[in-house]
Structure formats: structure tokens, C-alpha cells
Structure 1
Amino acid sequence: MAKGRRLIKLLIAALLLALLFGGGIRWVIAGGARSLDMADRLIGSGDGARLLVADQRYGHGTRQYLDIWAPGGVREGDRLPVVVFFYGGGWSSGEREHYGFAGRALAQQGFIVVIPDYRLAPRAQWPDFLQDSAEAVAWTHAHIGALGGDPDRIALMGHSAGAYNAAMLALDPQWLRDAGSDPSVVRGVAGLAGPYDFLPLEKGGSADRAMGKVRPVERTQPIAFARGDAPPMWLATGDADTRVRPRNSQNLAAAIERAGGSAALRLYPGIGHTGIVMALARPFRGRAPVLDDATDFLRGVTGRRIAPAKGIVP
């Protein structure tokens, strides 16, 4: 039976690779994150990771729920680094249960991974999704210690609109303060193909539908809050991204550096907007080292501070 299951997985892997190099990216995109998560699970990417908590409420709204992924061996009393992952979808679509591939990938790297839902347009408008994102981080800081995570080692990560949410929480302290948390709980941000500098808004586009009524509209732009004392940021994008142009990451990284802050820019050749998040899933990791690069950054910013030895003045 075990050999049969392994054979089936190998055949699925072969099929996925064939699809990948024969228009498979379009096939996965057509099914969205749901198809990507299914492919990731079928190949067996869950080894070494498990869904620790599902459907955890972090607020009172209908979309204020989150899932938590963890390494398979996590135990009570552990203090593992934590990543809060915000999915994309133009602030108008997305479901946390379809992003298990991201939760599994990061949990296998030793992180506790929190994936929250948040309010979406057209029912919600800016700043509803930012307020929800901040409440999810505040809940994580308050409760993750009982679930094997270290509340003093929290980083944020997101793709597309989710990267926007993460960047805004890190750059503008008001959101976490309003959620009753301390902005300093965020140790760093890993952003994948995020929109950070996208004025003027495209009329009728996803950003216009989500935040077009805000005045002044500059309040919606992460680049407007670039500051030297912000948490370190790792901004990744693909040079083939035509949906959220690479200049968004390039401009924000440059603005943070001009302010005296820390921002690393990573440009992946031949990678498009969805390809950069697909690279977190096992069938597509060979396309770009997104998981390895993001993990290196996240481990660095969530590294435990080591107390100096006695008798040594730091």
C-alpha cells in the first residue's frame, strides 16, 4: 500500500511538472490557491508540518478567523519563531484554508505560522482589512505563547494585497496601536510582489474599488510611511510581473534606505505575479528560491537575542 501511494504521488508530480512546462502555470492560476494547495498536499508536502489550530476566532467579525500551522514536533513550552502570513487577492478575494501550502512550507522551516482571513471588498473598504490584519497580529502576540510560539519573535509575510497589509502594519504604527498592541512586536516583513507605490489608482481596478474613496489618497500608500526606524523589510518581486510592477518594491526599498532603514530588494528573473507565491509550493519550488530566501530573512529577524555573559559589558 505504501509503495502504491508513493507511486501515485510520483505520477502526480510528473504530471504537474509536465503541466508546469506546458502551460501548467495558467492551469494552476485558473484554479487559484485552492488548486495550488491541493497539488502541494498530493505530493506530500505536509511531512514535518501539521495544522495545529483551525477556525480560531481573533475578533467578532464574520471573517475574523485564523488557522495556525506548526512543525510536527512542536510541544507545549516551546518558543518557536512566528510568521503571520497574509494572502493576496486584490483585497476582494481569498480564503485562509486555501493557503495551507504556505503554512506547511514555513512550518517545515521551523516557524509557527498564523494565516488569518480579513474583510474584503466590496463589503469592506480601506481601512477595514488593515484593522483586521492588525487585530490578527495583536491576537497572535497575546496568545501564541500558549501554542509553542515566541511572542517576542513575530514577523509578517504576505503576497500581493497581503504584502501591502503587512507593510502598512510595519510602517504605520497607528494600526497595531489601535488594535491594542505594540508596533514593536513586528520584527520584520517579507513581502512578495506587494503594491507599495501605486498612484494614481487605476479606475475600476481592485485598488480603486477597495480604497478609491479615501482622501487624501496618499494615506493608502505604504511608501508614504517609509521611515528609518521601521522593522527590516525583504521585498521580493519578479521581473515578469505585469500586475504589480517591480517598481513598487524597488521604490519602497529605496525610500526606506534613504530614510536610514533596512530594506533588501530581491528580483527574480522570469517570475510573474502568481509565480512568486507558487514557488512556496513543493511542485514549483524549482522555479525560484523564494522559500529559501524568505526563510533566511525571517530567521535573521526573528533570531533570539542572546544575553551577554556575566562580567561582560555589552
Structure 2
Amino acid sequence: MHFLSLVPFAFLLLTGCSALSAFDTAVAKDRASERVATDQRFADTDRGRLDVYAPRTNGVGAPLPVIIWLYGGSWNSGDKDGYRFAGRALAAQGFVTVVPDYRLVPEVHFPTFLEDNAAAVSWVRANIANFGGDPNRIVLVGHSAGAYNAAMLALDPRWLGADRAAIKGFAGLAGPYDFLPLDSPVTRAAFGNSADLPATQPIAFVDAGDPPAFLATAGKDSLVPPRHAARLAERLRAARVPVQVRAYPNVGHIGIMTALARPFRGKAPVLADVTAFAHSVTAQ
């Protein structure tokens, strides 16, 4: 019997990096893409490394738009090696895709993981042309805590500086964007040391100059309710920032992300919708 039929997704993805790596090893990958660089150092820390994926090609063409995939895990778990399926899936749709690691709770707290993500964006800006990517056409895509990270980089000008001009859009899958007061052990561990809690919330930084957004919710999500996306979308629309909201009724918090993998795309068209959005905001 196939490995994936023996172990439920939620168990695989919530019991640690080793289980997620086992899922990633077992799941079929997109043959139209490949990992072209591994463990590229973007910061002088033990987790300051990233991988690069690209479409398979027989020649050198025009630079491709770039997706930076920021994984979730409650800001306290995750490893880029467990997301090769996501890197390959996004790259097969015509993007140079980057998957960075970042430091996690309890070693660090807000805002260190955002600083690490920002350093990864800086590396992409300086180096992605070497892998066929366009450093001026970047879309941030994240799931759960990674969606929070993507939203903060896209909306809060503190993190990216001049590099923010290259962010053409961000896509969040089941992301928390408005979660005060801190009412869970996860959020208290990640953000409880902040002296300015409102400044930890993506919704606080919406402005008319923000990049377009794609916000996806899972109908069976018991961890991050759809109201997070609804509230952020309402604020973006009030600022006249283009925003798309998609609801996938047949998946949960984990399923909205595993729907990127080849065997499970029939659960929800997450890959098609995210990459259609990314192509639209990076069109030249």
C-alpha cells in the first residue's frame, strides 16, 4: 500500500519537520520543474539558507517572474526541505521559486522571523538573475504563519526598504492578519514580548500604495477562521488596493496547502488560482 494512504495529512504535517519531510519525499513532484540550487546562504545564521526551483528549459529565455514561498508552522516549526513539492509545483507554472528557512520560536520572537524573511528577499533581489529570475517581479506567497509573514513584508514598509518596490503582489493561504488580543499560547509565544502589539498586525499597515493581494480561506479551517481574510480584504478595498478573495469549502487548514501537491489538486484549485494571480500582477 502507498505510504500516503497509511498516514493522514494532518498527522504528517503537524507532528514535526521529519514527518513533513517524509510526506514531501513520498508525494509525486512536477516533472516540468527542478531544484536548481540548494542551501544558498542569505544570512549568517544557522537557518539563513534557501533553495531555488525553476522550470526545466532547453534554452535561455527572458527572465521569469519570481515567487518566494514562506511556509507556515505557527512560527515555531518548519523546514524548507519539507516543501520541495511546493517549490516544484510553483516553478512548473512558469516561476523561479525560492523557499527560505527562517529562525523560529522559542529561539527568537517577533520581529526576528520577519527580519530573516526580509534578508531572503534582499538575497533574491541581488542573486536571482543568476537563476533566470527577474529581480524586479516578485510575488510573496505564504501559508498560515507564512501568510502572515508575506503580508507583513508586503504591507509594512519597515522590513524591505527599497526592495519593497519589487513586490508586485502577495498571496496568503489561511493566514492570520488580525489576531489581537493574543489569546493563544502560539501567538503569545511569538508576539508576547512586543512592546507595541498593534504594530505586529498586518491589518494595521494597509495603505493605498500597497501591492495587490490574493487571500484564500479554507472552509474546514478550525485554526485560522476566514474572518482574518475578510477583515484584511475590507481594509484593502477601502484603500483601493486590488484584492481577490477565494474560499475553498472542501479543505481545512492543512489541506489548502497540500492541495498544491500533484495528487491532491482535485481538492481545491489553489495552485491554479495562486499562479494565475501571480502571472497577472507580474505581467510586463
TM-score using structure 2 length: 0.94
Please say if residues 74 and 148 of structure 1, whose CA atoms lie closer than 8 Å, have aligned partners that are also in contact. no
Please say if residues 76 and 147 of structure 1, whose CA atoms lie closer than 8 Å, have aligned partners that are also in contact. no
Distance 1:82 1:212 in 2: 33
Tell me whether 1:69 sits opposite 2:17 in the alignment. no
Deviations 1:9-43 (A, max 9, x none): xx74xx74x56xxx833454356532331232xx3
> What's the counterpart of residue 248 of structure 2?
268
SS at match of 1:286: coil
| AA of the residue aligned to 2:64 | L
> What's the counterpart of residue 278 of structure 1?
258
Match of 2:21 among 1, 15, 34: 34
Match of 1:200 among 177, 181, 199: 181
> What's the counterpart of residue 308 of structure 1?
none
Shift of 1:77: 6.0
Distance 1:59 1:30 in 2: 27
SS at match of 2:8: helix
Runs ≥4 residues deviating over 6 A:
none
Matches within 5 A, 1:122-137: 122-137=106-121
> What's the counterpart of residue 143 of structure 1?
127
> What's the counterpart of residue 184 of structure 1?
165
Matches within 5 A, 1:45-124: 45-73=29-57, 75-76=59-60, 78-124=62-108
> What's the counterpart of residue 8 of structure 1?
none
Please say if residues 51 and 98 of structure 2, whose CA atoms lie closer than 8 Å, have aligned partners that are also in contact. yes
Deviations 1:195-228 (A, max 9, x none): 101111124x211101111122111100011122
SS at match of 1:146: helix
Please say if residues 55 and 92 of structure 2, whose CA atoms lie closer than 8 Å, have aligned partners that are also in contact. yes
Please say if residues 191 and 234 of structure 1, whose CA atoms lie closer than 8 Å, have aligned partners that are also in contact. yes
> What's the counterpart of residue 293 of structure 1?
273
Distance 1:26 1:196 in 2: 23
Distance 2:69 2:96 in 1: 10
Tell me whether 1:223 sits opposite 2:207 in the alignment. no
Matched-pair identity in % = 47
Distance 2:107 2:150 in 1: 21
Tell me whether 1:173 sits opposite 2:161 in the alignment. no
Unmatched tracts of structure 2, length 5 or more: none
Tell me whether 1:214 sits opposite 2:194 in the alignment. yes
Distance 1:279 1:250, change over 3 A: same
Match of 2:236 among 256, 268, 275: 256
RMSD of equivalent CA atoms: 1.7
TM-score using structure 1 length: 0.85
